[in-house]
Structure 1
Amino acid sequence: MGAEHGGVPLAGGMANAGAVVRHGDEVERPAPPHAAALHRHLRALAAAGFGGAPEPVALDTAAGRERLAFVPGDVPLPPFPAWAMTEEALARVGGLLRRLHDASAALPPDPSVAWPADLADPRGGTLLCHNDVCPENVVFRDGRPAALIDFDLAAPGRPLWDLAMAARYWAPVLDPESAEAAGRGGLDPVRRLRVLADGYGLAREGRGELVEAVGEAIAVGRAFVAGRVAGGDPVYQASFAAYGGWRRWERIGEWYARTRGTFVRALLA
């Protein structure tokens, strides 16, 4: 793909693995079907003063490619470096997501657009959520989260849903065995969910709802992986097999059900 499109291939990601290349100050990548609407939203975010998202440059609908301004900084990739997993970094991720939501609140998503349903809030909502704030989609500068990238799965939902989806990756919401296999063993997910919520500035009345939303997010994440595996995506099939298949998802669900009350108590303490 690097030779076909020129430029320097960028590592990371699963959905567009091997298909993203950098040309100097620009990044060329596959364009999602709703790219035109997404570009309008990203430009509106910039106009609203939010500087933590990539700025669109051009869209080639015929070729199915888009160009975005390159966002300078460091993106943590597995195995995640220690500086990306600190509690300070976690709290700042929460703050960055809150700033995105505050800027997006005055920019309602176009209801005529077929926004992707892959990781969308099952309850719907009026805010365009990122839905995939994993470490690989956060750009750090000087050790601090500075920007979010890869808005391909953005869709209308509740702010709380976006926070819950981020918590899955950053707490992480994984049983100890799964966390160890993913290179994130030794982290305290209960404490870290509280740190993320505090960094976001989540009000007390929303904290019980966050725990419920995280449970829903686990189910949506499982369905997303199931769809990609059944569809023959080689990247997801390899990851699915490497991490233990369905037994891993069963173990995560069982662990979360047992730990749910502990999460609630920690968030409300």
Structure 2
Amino acid sequence: MADYEVLAGGVNEVIRIGDTVRRPTGPWSPRVHGLLRMLAARGFRGVPRVLEITGDGFEVLDFLPGEVSNYPATPAAASPEALESAAELLRAYHDATAEYARTAPRDGWQIPAAEPVEVICHGDYAPHNCVLDGNRVAGIIDFDHARPGPRLSDVAYAAYRWVPMSAPGTVEAAGSTTEEQAARLRIFCDRYGLDDAGRAGLIDAVAARLHTVVDFMRARAAAGEEAYAGHLAAGHHVLYLGDADYVLAERDVFERHLIGWPGQARSRSSS
């Protein structure tokens, strides 16, 4: 069938049929559907619409056309335009969810809500969950890890993935040096509009977020979920923990770019 395609889904099998995507649902899916419907009602573009919930455990969503990158990043995903537009779209998404987050249910999400609740975090805002139109990030997909929580947690993980903040010499670092990563981190935070308090806490937030990812992975593997057991067998946890140590060890370099240049204008506040 020409219009049938199995898409890379990370944990779940995702199937494109024409202009729609069919994905398995989970106990958290009603919360995600409420979020996506709210965004659609607000006219927020760049996220899939919920079209149907089937009786056999699947959801049918809009297919967002474009390129989705994995690792190492494609040239488009690694471009300055992608870095900047990824930060801008994340900020727009956060702002669109801020009011909703105040009264959104705290239970029922796959990842527990975390205080302070400021926005609905995407939870996995990375190149493999964003859609590019040319070199610009135009869409966000896979909200299974969404939850009410603080902006900084989402910004930290997004920056880690989009910069990327991985130890030089690893495949994920894509040949970048720490200085080059720090410069890209500054650009990401400027385009997002991260305030001074967020910048001061960002490196610790990145490290903490990576430890949380590993804890989640181990818990799911222990519960018998084969996909996460496969991640552990492939050494994903070693990468995350190594990168957490790396960003802490290179804190001075990252923070010199983030907060060490007084007098430079911030584009806007994240508060």
TM-score w.r.t. structure 2 length?
A: 0.85
Q: Once structures 1 and 2 are overlaid, which stretch shifts more, 192-201 or 33-42? A: 33-42
Partner Cα separation in structure 2 for residue 252 and residue 86 of structure 1 = 22
Verify: 1:49 aligned to 2:43, yes or no: yes
Partner Cα separation in structure 1 for residue 15 and residue 113 of structure 2 = 30
Q: Once structures 1 and 2 are overlaid, which stretch shifts more, 234-243 or 102-111? A: 234-243
Please tell me the root mean square deviation across aligned C-alpha atoms, in Å. 2.4
Question: Which 5+ residue runs of structure 2 have no aligned equivalent?
Answer: 262-271
Deviation digits for residues 136-193 of structure 1, max 9, x if unmatched?
A: 100011221001000111001011211111122112222224xx23362325322221
Deviation of 1:247 after TM superposition, in Å, equals 4.6
Question: Which residue identity does 1:194 align to in structure 2?
Answer: R
Partner Cα separation in structure 2 for residue 38 and residue 249 of structure 1 = 26
Equivalent pair of 1:78/1:183 in contact (CA under 8 Å) = no
**Correspondences of 1:241-256 after superposition (within 5 Å):** 241-243=233-235, 247-256=238-247
Closer, same or farther in 2 for the Cα pair 1:112/1:222, shift >3 Å?
A: closer
Question: Which residue identity does 2:74 align to in structure 1?
Answer: P
**Correspondences of 1:1-269 after superposition (within 5 Å):** 8-16=4-12, 19-60=13-54, 62-108=55-101, 110-111=104-105, 113-117=107-111, 122-177=114-169, 180-182=170-172, 184-186=174-176, 188-243=180-235, 247-268=238-259, 269=261
Equivalent pair of 1:89/1:143 in contact (CA under 8 Å) = yes
Percent identity between the aligned chains?
A: 34
Equivalent pair of 1:121/1:161 in contact (CA under 8 Å) = no
Question: Which 5+ residue runs of structure 1 have no aligned equivalent?
Answer: none
Q: How many pairs align?
A: 257
Closer, same or farther in 2 for the Cα pair 1:251/1:14, shift >3 Å?
A: same
TM-score w.r.t. structure 1 length?
A: 0.85
Deviation digits for residues 37-57 of structure 1, max 9, x if unmatched?
A: 321221211221210111000
Secondary structure at 1:29's aligned position in 2?
Answer: strand
Deviation digits for residues 103-146 of structure 1, max 9, x if unmatched?
A: 111212522641122xx565441421101011110001122100
Partner Cα separation in structure 2 for residue 205 and residue 44 of structure 1 = 29
Equivalent pair of 1:49/1:103 in contact (CA under 8 Å) = no
Partner Cα separation in structure 2 for residue 155 and residue 250 of structure 1 = 23
